[in-house]
Chain A
């Protein structure tokens, strides 16, 4: 399930106290999703007891965010059967390894995704098109996964 800024906002103190350096809790929620802020930056959430429950919940729903690293790409291994569609369709793979991914095989160590022990594994997210400053919102791998085993945080 992709997380929306609204989901995060609802659990913040909603006081717009600006202690996090943001003008509003909502903008803090956006930055949190983009990994430009850390949850700990919201001081009241950690200092005031009355937010304890909300804090726990926030930590819980933000967990996948950590897994997703910079690209927002999350793989649910339970849903994956290693069909390899995502691996072969990924435009970066095709560019980098024309003789592998091009023809439906890929075992190169510098791929983004590879099938290991029957499941897709993330190897090098930093070459994914969604990574870094000039990122583009590529969705090719997700689009071609028949079981929605791949998702992105931004939805």
Chain B
């Protein structure tokens, strides 16, 4: 079975004698709580049939002047494609969590602004394993043991003993604690200063972190294959990511360094890729204006009261976005498609209960590095995200 607990999409999870083997605790929790707090089909909080709920959803979206679609990071590529189609039909806004997650990093990779690679190649070849502002121990627990630092690979027969670990963070995270032998932990006060130190070092000048940067560059030069994984710590730590990408390109003039986003929701990258293929943008897109803009991020739309209806799938804004903003959801017509009776589902106009992609329904997801994985669910529920979205699309 493929675990959809995070964007690692671990493909070696087994169920044997009622026990889940190999999945980390994060994945296990999703699986073990599958049956808790399931959503029911509701219209105005009254129980209805799934068909009636879908009919009402079609009516709401069809009549809306300025509808939006939001979420989709934990569903399949197939469902994401239908979601984009619906947005197009409705001339709607469409956005996902990536606008405040690692969207820019995925975008830079899709646009080929920075070199990237696959986790299999990292396992087989990478010498320097570089985590910047990322703590996979909490965001993607098996990242290091399955893909990057620990496993042995074709050119790294001794696994982590054949690699060099670099961890950059503002605090001594769990991942930083692993930087022992053949490793360096750089505790930064400001990520920008470290970027600057790299830039200066490459020009032969000394910045604040000259010593640490010197070590890292020396190690990078020892191999023709090194990989960096960036996390939210970087995104919120630097003033602008373009400067960071520029630094990556500069480093690549002296040593090969591939960039891969560390972790996010199971199929956030899938959403970014689907929308990118269709529109050239990865998120916060308006089909009415045919462009992407900061102002079209779901939170911005809410803040400025720009929308009158929204289709939410696989996301729970009431618990994930600051209440100041998310409470505005109560003032618009909300359709929630979700396996769980989330907080947002409780106040929604329409709730359509769905299946958990990966565990209860099949399809394709895109791993953090862009590799596509076919899901191997334990059971196949007929009423799943794809089925529901198709029905809505047909109804419109």
- Tell me the complex Cα distance, A43–B309, Å: 79
Binary A-proximity of B142-154 (CB < 8 A = 1, otherwise 0): 1011110011110
Compute how far the CA of A82 lies from the CA of B137 in the bound complex, rounded to whole angstroms.
9
Are B137 and A81 in contact (CB-based, < 8 A)? yes
CA distance A103 to B149 in the complex (A): 11
Residues of B within 8 A of A94 (CB): 152, 159
Binding stretch for chain B, among A12-20, A44-52, A56-64, A116-124? A116-124
How distant is A93 from chain B, measured CB to nearest CB, in Å?
11
Q: Closest approach, in angstroms, between the C-beta of A5 and any C-beta of chain B?
A: 28
- Could you say which of A21-29, A30-38, A125-133, A142-150 contacts chain B? A142-150
Contact A105 B22 (CB under 8 A): yes
> CA separation between A143 and B141, bound complex, in Å?
17
Taking the closest CB of chain A, its distance from the CB of B129, in whole angstroms, is: 13
Is B46's beta carbon under 8 Å from chain A?
no
Docked-complex contact A89 and B150, CB < 8 angstroms = yes
In the complex, which of the residues A104, A117, A118, A147 contacts B145, with contact meaning CB atoms closer than 8 Å?
A104
Q: Is B25 an interface residue (CB 8 A)?
A: yes
- Does chain A have a CB within 8 A of B112? no
Given known A-B contacts A82-B28, A85-B150, A147-B174, A116 and B20 have beta carbons under 8 A apart:
yes
| A84 touches B (CB below 8 Å) | yes
Bound-state CA distance A81–B6 (Å) is: 14
CB atoms of B12 and A105 under 8 A apart: yes
Give a binary string over A76-119; 1 marks a CB under 8 Å from any B CB, 0 the rest.
00001111110111000010000000111111000000111111
Q: Tell me the smallest distance from the CB of A111 to a CB of chain B, in Å.
A: 10
Within 8 A of A (CB), among B122-174: 123, 137-138, 141-142, 144-147, 150-153, 159-160, 174
Q: Which residues of B contact A87 (CB under 8 A)?
A: 145
Q: Are the C-beta atoms of B24 and A82 separated by less than 8 Å?
A: yes
A62: min CB distance to chain B, Å: 30
Please name all residues of chain A whose beta carbon is closer than 8 Å to the beta carbon of B25 when the two chains form the complex. 80-82, 118-119
Give the interface centre of A94, A103, A143, A147 by most chain B CB atoms within 10 Å: A103
The size class of the interface chain A forms with chain B is 20 to 34
Which 4 pairs across A and B sit closest by C-beta, in order of nearness? A118-B28, A118-B25, A104-B146, A146-B174
Q: Which residue of B lies closest to A114 (CB)?
A: B21
Closest A residue by C-beta to B123: A103
Contact between chains at A115 and B146 (CB < 8 Å): no
- A-side residues, CB < 8 A to B, are 80-85, 87-89, 94, 102-107, 114-119, 143-144, 146-147
Are the C-beta atoms of B142 and A117 separated by less than 8 Å?
Answer: no
The reply to whether A146 and B137 form a contact with Cβ atoms under 8 Å apart is: yes
Asked whether B339 is an interface residue with its Cβ less than 8 Å from the other chain, the reply is no
Contacts of B26 in A (CB 8 A): 81-82, 118
> What residues of B have a CB within 8 angstroms of the CB of A105 in the complex?
12, 22, 146
| Other A-B pairs, 16, CB within 8 Å; known A82-B24, A85-B144, A115-B21 | A82-B25, A82-B142, A83-B24, A83-B144, A84-B145, A84-B146, A88-B146, A89-B150, A103-B153, A104-B147, A104-B151, A107-B16, A114-B22, A116-B21, A119-B28, A144-B150
Quick check: A88 and B151 within 8 Å, CB to CB?
yes
- State whether A118 and B178 are in contact (beta carbons under 8 Å apart), knowing that A84-B145, A103-B123 are contacts in the complex: no
User: Which residue on A lies nearest to B143, using beta carbons?
Assistant: A83
| Chain B residues with CB under 8 A of A117 | 19-20, 28, 32
Q: Check A88–B19 contact: CB distance below 8 A.
A: no
CB proximity of A110 to chain B, nearest CB, Å: 14
**B205 on interface, CB distance cutoff 8 Å:** no
B142 touches A104 (CB 8 A): yes
Q: Compute how far the CA of A123 lies from the CA of B294 in the bound complex, rounded to whole angstroms.
A: 53
CB-CB nearest in chain B for A82? B24
Are the C-beta atoms of A83 and B137 separated by less than 8 Å?
Answer: yes
A residues less than 8 Å from B174 (CB atoms): 146-147
Is B51 on the interface with A (CB-CB < 8 A)? no
Q: Which residue of B29, B178, B180 has the most chain A CB atoms within 10 A of its CB atom?
A: B178
Ordered by A's residue number, 13 sampled pairs between the chains whose C-beta atoms are within 8 Å are A80-B25, A81-B24, A81-B137, A83-B144, A88-B145, A89-B159, A94-B159, A102-B151, A107-B21, A115-B21, A116-B19, A117-B28, A143-B180
